[in-house]
């Protein structure tokens, strides 16, 4: 534990942690069970193209979410592209700027303009009150993102979509295992998309899935996932190769078996953070609604430089030097990022809440690779940093001037 500011690694002190603590270290299932599944894949010599593991994975996801259709894919970005094409999205689609850039890319890749909307300060998700001003005669849809696994204001968004005859989809990449008003996320809008990337709460190495109760849309997406084929010789649409392979599905099945354990670890870590993080003006932890189901995959704090005397980025640099590899997702917001900033002349586009939140948010390490003791140590380190904020700022300024 640090005794003085000079003990911080950024000023030459020794590292607080011998090993790197990541945001997004994969949650891994029992290796023996996974390997035996993979062995069976190899013995069957059926490696991809709608194999039995993919089919079982899709069925288990659809049952778990409570929807009729699940289409597993190679990742969520391609899933979003397939969904946008199958649903015939065109022209402009309203999306939050505060999201992983893949949400926007999936549209732009198809020549659809992502129109960036601001977020609500309380949810970090699309602000329904700001959507209608962005609707034009070119608008065909809205894609909400359940950021951090915390749900969008689904009812309000559904009402707007209905009033303006727009399609409504959700990028639920963060939200597998989360619920909203007693229904699992995945069952809202016209369809929702999950990511099963290595860094997600449940992973298939790389992977994604589209879930929907729209059977027609599901059939179209199944074809598109496999080049547009409907049988051995007939192609009926412009398709792509968005298939999930059998090894990825085996990883998904093994991970589903242990999903409750992953959630339990994340929940424990979340509660330790909640209890032990500093309670200081200007340092705020985002909370989950514990009456709902959550995967607790993201531990998110908001850092206000004006109150603390240290900026989010200064705290981030200090943590990284100590081997706490916290992340500032989603900085700076898609509208301030290339290619969109230049392509749509967004340099002066003000999205005040997005701009504000993107400068304040920090994600802290959690997941099955981070023990309770480590979480406590991270909390102690943050407490030390905030208690010594003035001295640290002075020392940082001194370093800047001398070096």
CB nearer ligand T4K, residue 239 or residue 367: 367
Question: Residue 349 region, left (φ>0) first, then alpha (ψ -120 to 50), else beta?
Answer: beta
Q: Which residue is nearest to ligand T4K (CB)?
A: 24
User: Residue 295 and residue 174: Cα distance in Å, rounded?
Assistant: 9
Would you tell me how many other CB atoms lie within 10 Å of the CB of residue 398? 11
The answer to whether 167 and 161 are in contact (CB under 8 A) is: yes
- Nearest-CA neighbor of 106 among 75, 84, 136? 84
Containing 103, the helix (H) or strand (E) segment is: helix 102-108
CB nearer ligand T4K, residue 293 or residue 328: 328
Question: For ligand T4K, which residue of 169, 180, 329, 340 counts as binding (CB under 6 A)?
Answer: 329
CB nearer ligand T4K, residue 174 or residue 293: 174
Containing 117, the helix (H) or strand (E) segment is: strand 113-117
User: Residue 221 and residue 227: Cα distance in Å, rounded?
Assistant: 10
Question: For ligand T4K, which residue of 58, 92, 118, 171 counts as binding (CB under 6 A)?
Answer: 171
Residues contacting ligand T4K: total by CB under 6 A: 24
**Cβ contacts of 147 within 8 Å, gap of 6 or more:** 96, 98, 99, 119, 123, 124, 125, 174
Question: For ligand T4K, which residue of 27, 48, 97, 195 counts as binding (CB under 6 A)?
Answer: 195
Binding residues among 208-227 for ligand T4K as defined by CB under 6 A: 208
Question: For ligand T4K, which residue of 75, 187, 245, 366 counts as binding (CB under 6 A)?
Answer: 75
End-to-end Cα distance, the chain: 27
CB nearer ligand T4K, residue 204 or residue 388: 204
Binding residues among 103-162 for ligand T4K as defined by CB under 6 A: 103, 145
CB of 3 to ligand T4K, least distance (A): 29
SS3 state at 160: helix
**Burial tier of 269 (Cβ tally within 10 Å: 0-12, 13-18, 19+):** buried
Task: Give backbone dihedrals phi and psi of 57, rounded to 5 degrees, phi first.
Answer: -60, -45
User: Residue 328 and residue 363: Cα distance in Å, rounded?
Assistant: 6
Pick the piece of the chain touching ligand T4K (CB under 6 A) from 39-47, 72-80, 250-258, 305-313: 72-80
Pick the piece of the chain touching ligand T4K (CB under 6 A) from 157-165, 166-174, 275-283, 379-387: 166-174
**Burial tier of 268 (Cβ tally within 10 Å: 0-12, 13-18, 19+):** middle
Record the tokens describing residue 120, joined without a space: 């609500």
User: Strand 69-73 and strand 208-212: pairing?
Assistant: antiparallel
Q: Does 173 bind ligand T4K (CB under 6 A)?
A: yes
CB nearer ligand T4K, residue 75 or residue 212: 75
Contacts with ligand T4K, 21-60, as mask; x by CB under 6 A: -xxxxx----------------------------------
CB of 19 to ligand T4K, least distance (A): 12
Question: For ligand T4K, which residue of 123, 199, 213, 240 counts as binding (CB under 6 A)?
Answer: 199
CB of 306 to ligand T4K, least distance (A): 28
CB nearer ligand T4K, residue 95 or residue 131: 95
CB of 361 to ligand T4K, least distance (A): 12
CB nearer ligand T4K, residue 26 or residue 239: 26
Which chain residues interact with ligand T4K by CB under 6 A? 22-26, 75-77, 99-100, 102-103, 145, 171, 173-174, 195, 197-199, 208, 325, 327, 329
């Amino acid at each position: 534990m640090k005794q003085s500011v000079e003990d911080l690694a950024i000023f030459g002190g020794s590292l607080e942690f011998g090993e790197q603590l990541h945001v997004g270290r994969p949650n891994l299932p029992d290796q023996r069970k996974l390997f035996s599944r993979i062995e069976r894949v190899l013995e069957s010599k059926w490696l991809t193209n709608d194999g039995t593991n993919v089919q079982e994975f899709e069925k288990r996801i659809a049952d778990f979410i409570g929807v009729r259709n699940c289409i597993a894919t190679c990742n969520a970005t391609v899933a979003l592209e397939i969904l946008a094409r199958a649903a015939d999205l065109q022209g402009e689609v309203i999306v939050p700027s505060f999201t992983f850039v893949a949400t926007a890319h999936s549209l732009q890749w198809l020549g659809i303009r992502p129109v960036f909307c601001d977020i609500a300060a309380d949810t970090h998700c699309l602000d329904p009150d700001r959507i209608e001003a962005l609707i034009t005669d070119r608008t065909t849809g809205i894609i909400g993102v359940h950021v951090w696994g915390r749900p969008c204001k689904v009812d309000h968004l559904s009402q707007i979509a209905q009033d303006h005859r727009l399609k409504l989809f959700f990028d639920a990449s963060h939200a597998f295992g989360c619920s909203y008003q007693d229904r699992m996320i995945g069952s809202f809008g016209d369809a929702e998309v999950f990511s099963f990337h290595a860094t997600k709460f449940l992973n298939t190495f790389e992977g994604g899935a589209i879930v929907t109760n729209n059977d027609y849309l599901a059939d179209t997406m199944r074809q598109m996932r496999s080049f547009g084929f409907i049988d051995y010789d007939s192609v009926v649409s412009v398709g792509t190769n968005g298939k999930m392979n059998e090894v990825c599905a085996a990883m998904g099945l093994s991970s589903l078996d242990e999903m409750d354990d992953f959630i339990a670890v994340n929940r424990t870590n979340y509660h330790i953070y909640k209890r032990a993080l500093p309670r200081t003006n200007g340092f705020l932890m985002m909370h989950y609604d514990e009456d709902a189901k959550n995967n607790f995959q993201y531990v998110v704090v908001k850092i206000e430089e004006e109150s603390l005397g240290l900026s989010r980025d200064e705290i981030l640099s200090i943590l990284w030097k100590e081997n706490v590899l916290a992340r500032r997702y989603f900085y700076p917001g898609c509208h301030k990022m290339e290619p969109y900033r230049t392509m749509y002349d967004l340099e002066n586009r003000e999205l005040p809440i997005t701009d504000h939140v993107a400068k304040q948010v920090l994600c802290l390490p959690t997941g099955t690779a981070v023990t309770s003791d480590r979480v406590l140590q991270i909390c102690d380190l943050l407490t030390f940093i905030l208690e010594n904020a003035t001295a640290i700022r002075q020392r940082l300024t001194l370093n800047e001037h001398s070096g």
